[in-house]
Amino acid sequence: METTHEILTIAIPLIFLIALIFWGVISAVLNHHWTRYGLNAKKIKIIQKIYFGLSVAFLAIMFALMIIYLLYD
């Protein structure tokens, strides 16, 4: 029977990959919606900068924590 650590070693990169794919799809849909149906182009640019800045920061934190967990067990 596999230990919890062995399961997490396999599951964590898969979860990160699924989160990355989900983020890409949601970002594409939101970006299309904002650019196509946005009323104020200036506000849309600000919203996009905030959204992409924060989401890339969260993905970078997730990636760093994944690497730390996998390397320093």
What would the DSSP string read from start to end of 47-58?
A: HHHHHHHHHHHH
**Distance (Å, rounded) from C-alpha 31 to C-alpha 9?**
33
Segments making up each domain of the chain, as ranges = 4-71
Query: Given a cut of 90, is residue 5 above it in pLDDT?
Result: no
Residue type, 14: L
36 CB-side CA count, 13 A: 6
What is the tens place of the pLDDT at every residue in 19-36?
Answer: 999 999 999 999 999 989
Q: Is the pLDDT of residue 56 over 90?
A: yes
**pTM (whole model) above 0.95:** no
